Chains A and B, each alone.
Chain A
Amino acid sequence: MAAKLVVARLAGPRLFPLRLLPFSTAAVAADPAPIPHNSSAADDPDPVTVKGVKISGRPLYLDMQATTPVDPRVLDAMLPFYLSRYGNPHSRTHLYGWESEAAVEAARAQVAAAINASPKEVFFTSGATESNNISVKGVMHFYRDKKRHVVTTQTEHKCVLDSCRHLQQEGFEVTYLPVGKDGILDLDRLADSIRPDTGLVSVMAVNNEIGVVQPIEEIGRICLEKGVFFHTDAAQALGKIPIDVDKVNISLMSLSGHKIYGPKGVGALYLRRRPRVRVEPQMNGGGQERGIRSGTVPTPLVVGMGAACELSMREMEYDGRRIAALQERLLNGIRAKLDGVVVNGSVERRYAGNLNLSFAYVEGESLLMGLKEVAVSSGSACTSASLEPSYVLRALGVEEDMAHTSIRFGIGRFTTEAEIDRAVELTVKQVKKLREMSPLYEMVKEGIDIKNIQWAQH
């Protein structure tokens, strides 16, 4: 009923939201407050002020590794389960439960199809972080009698590293393998570090900060030869590069919903059945998800994740081509106008949608503060609470000053060429402005080598 009213009112050319609808209060309350009447006439109609920063509109979004917008087709699949089909999938006695369970199983099949697994091997969790926790701690706790060693890399996601640290406190041993300057793991070092009591090798497929793609096929082969479980955090890889759990010999895999244009709060864990991988559950309770993860399965979120997986399989080629072209446009656009731009991580073995750049002789915080109209990130969201430069860049051997000025541009399905051009323009302008003001840059232009200066003591 209300929908018909809305459609009738929207029949005119104006697309502005109706301010009369009562049920939009929550959304309105969540909006940042518009400026009151004492703003100058020169301002745009609805300037946005958050944290003392005034911008004319919502920034253009180039932070796809932090999260992605929900695709309208995914939202369309999810909404019925918030409106009328709200049953608990574990209710066995009525239609609400049956239809909800059917939807969950259909979504499970969609996720399984995306990774070439059987639906029986897919378990829904609250996200890739939970899946990583179950993989690392769950596997090692289950096999604690025979296996006491874990091999991982220094560039893993914080949740994997923190779980490993937790295991170390319990008495397990962990080897954190270093990576090369390009961010890629050395396969010989990996093979050497695997011991007879190694229970798990955990290497992420695509890094969230620098976008490099690890050679998971070779790593899977090494793990198969040595008879060790191979876990990969594929949160950033799903739907972007083809993943086949059988071709790559993956034993465990973590997947995330909100990195593939799905909802936040849902993820999945792949556990191989042949040979069977057993884990000790981290969430105890009623035995849902075959005892691996107790708790009511959130039907709308899971349906969203399934729809997002199916969509990403259909669109992977189209999106991949576009995003690669956009990345080239971004990099060439910036390099054409600026020197001293360094790409962090391998240029060849990288996912196109993640471009991590360091700008020499520019300070990172001031660069970010000047890029208010572009939503980008420096370092990853997980480490941005501290002022320390990102541990991933440190593992690459990037110097402190370059690590501080790194910006991560995330390109996605909905990014337009106009946005890339605007981002190039704003970045170049801001970097040039900062370099104008920088005495260090003046010295470099005169030919002085900064590293060999003897600074006088005052």
Chain B
Amino acid sequence: MASAVGSAPSRAEVLSLFRSLLRTAAKFPDYNIREYTKRRTVDGFRQNRELSDPVAVAAAFAGGKSQLEIARRQAVVYSIYAPKAKSVMEIKAS
């Protein structure tokens, strides 16, 4: 990531962050956390789509990056301690 702190990210960087967040979301073994991370990412980026002030955009981008780091770490932790049984929502209804 070439953007320095405080300068607005490029469209490619924003898209890359979005995709990284969704990829990390898919790594959570917990159904509820996984769905929440995906949904929150999509809704968060959609909400900030109209931001025009470069300072606000840079701040939102930085916030997103720190959330990505948190998500990456927690995906590992949740995977290590994943329970054997999955949620009933993930099991096809018989």
> Interface of A with B (CB < 8 Å)?
3, 6-7, 10, 15-18, 21, 24, 27-28, 31-32, 34, 44, 46-48, 55-61, 69, 72-73, 75-76, 79, 318, 373, 413-416, 418-419, 422
B74 engages A75 (CB within 8 Å): yes
B79 engages A10 (CB within 8 Å): yes
A10 engages B76 (CB within 8 Å): yes
B76 engages A31 (CB within 8 Å): no
**Which B residues are CB-close (under 8 A) to A419?**
32, 89
Stretch of B5-13, B15-23, B80-88 lying at the A interface? B80-88
- Pick the contact of A61: B32, B40, B76, B81 (CB < 8 A): B32
B77 engages A75 (CB within 8 Å): yes
B82 engages A16 (CB within 8 Å): yes
Known: A3-B76, A414-B35. Is A72-B84 also a contact (CB below 8 A)?
A: no
**Which B residues are CB-close (under 8 A) to A34?**
84-85
A72 engages B88 (CB within 8 Å): no
- Pick the contact of B83: A18, A58, A76 (CB < 8 A): A58
Query: Bound complex: CA of A373 vs CA of B85, how far in Å?
Result: 13
A57 engages B71 (CB within 8 Å): no
B89 engages A46 (CB within 8 Å): no
> Interface of B with A (CB < 8 Å)?
27-29, 31-33, 35-37, 39-40, 43, 67, 70-71, 73-74, 76-91, 94
A69 engages B81 (CB within 8 Å): no
Which 10 A-B pairs have CB atoms at the shortest separation, nearest pair first? Answer: A72-B74, A414-B32, A17-B82, A57-B88, A48-B85, A76-B70, A373-B88, A57-B91, A414-B36, A416-B35
**Which A residues are CB-close (under 8 A) to B37?**
72
B83 engages A31 (CB within 8 Å): yes
Please name 11 pairs of A and B residues whose Cβ atoms are closer than 8 Å in the assembled complex, sorted by A.
A10-B79, A15-B82, A24-B80, A28-B84, A46-B86, A57-B88, A58-B85, A58-B87, A416-B31, A422-B88, A422-B89
Query: Bound complex: CA of A318 vs CA of B46, how far in Å?
Result: 13
Query: Bound complex: CA of A168 vs CA of B37, how far in Å?
Result: 50
A7 engages B35 (CB within 8 Å): no
Q: Which of B28, B32, B35, B67 has the most CB of A within 10 A?
A: B32
A15 engages B27 (CB within 8 Å): yes
Known: A73-B70, A76-B73, A414-B32. Is A56-B79 also a contact (CB below 8 A)?
A: no
B88 engages A60 (CB within 8 Å): yes
| Residue in A closest to B44 when the chains form the complex, CB atoms | A318
**Which A residues are CB-close (under 8 A) to B94?**
44, 56
Q: How far is the CB of A23 from chain B (nearest CB, A)?
A: 8
Q: How far is the CB of A115 from chain B (nearest CB, A)?
A: 24
Query: Bound complex: CA of A79 vs CA of B78, how far in Å?
Result: 13
Q: How far is the CB of A128 from chain B (nearest CB, A)?
A: 24
Q: Which of A18, A28, A416 has the most CB of B within 10 A?
A: A416
Query: Bound complex: CA of A173 vs CA of B71, how far in Å?
Result: 53
Query: Bound complex: CA of A75 vs CA of B39, how far in Å?
Result: 20
13 further interface pairs, Cβ-Cβ under 8 Å (given A46-B84, A72-B77): A10-B27, A15-B29, A18-B80, A21-B80, A31-B83, A58-B85, A60-B87, A60-B89, A73-B74, A76-B74, A79-B77, A413-B36, A422-B88
**Which B residues are CB-close (under 8 A) to A46?**
84-86
**Which B residues are CB-close (under 8 A) to A17?**
29, 79-84
A72 engages B78 (CB within 8 Å): yes
| Residue in B closest to A69 when the chains form the complex, CB atoms | B32
**Which A residues are CB-close (under 8 A) to B43?**
318
| Residue in A closest to B35 when the chains form the complex, CB atoms | A416
B80 engages A72 (CB within 8 Å): no
**Which A residues are CB-close (under 8 A) to B77?**
72, 75, 79
**Which A residues are CB-close (under 8 A) to B71?**
72
Q: How far is the CB of A397 from chain B (nearest CB, A)?
A: 36
**Which B residues are CB-close (under 8 A) to A56?**
88, 91, 94
**Which A residues are CB-close (under 8 A) to B29?**
15-17
B87 engages A414 (CB within 8 Å): no
- Pick the contact of B89: A27, A72, A79, A418 (CB < 8 A): A418
Query: Bound complex: CA of A414 vs CA of B88, how far in Å?
Result: 15
**Which A residues are CB-close (under 8 A) to B67?**
73
**Which A residues are CB-close (under 8 A) to B40?**
318
A58 engages B79 (CB within 8 Å): no
| Residue in A closest to B93 when the chains form the complex, CB atoms | A422
